[in-house]
Structure 1
Amino acid sequence: MPSRLSPDDQQRVDQYLSAPQHQVERKPFRPWLLLLLVLAVVIGLGLLSRLLSQLVL
Structure 2
Amino acid sequence: MASKLTPEDQARVERVIHRGVNSVERKPFKVWTLFASILLLLVLMSGFSYFIAWQHGVV
TM-score computed with the length of structure 2 as normaliser: 0.76
How is 1:16-27 mapped onto 2 (pairs within 5 angstroms)? 16-19=16-19, 21=20, 22-27=22-27
The CA distance in 1 between the partners of 2:7 and 2:47, in whole Å, is 58
The CA distance in 1 between the partners of 2:51 and 2:6, in whole Å, is 61
| Partner in structure 2 of residue 47 of structure 1 | 47
Q: Which amino acid aligns with 2:39?
A: L
| Partner in structure 2 of residue 7 of structure 1 | 7
Q: Which amino acid aligns with 1:2?
A: A
Per-residue Cα deviation, 1:5-30 (whole angstroms, up to 9, x for no partner): 333222111111112x2311101111
Q: 1:32: how far off?
A: 1.0
RMSD over aligned CA atoms reads 1.6
Aligned identity (percent) is 32
Following TM superposition, the consecutive aligned residue runs of length 4 or more in structure 1 with deviations greater than 4 angstroms are none
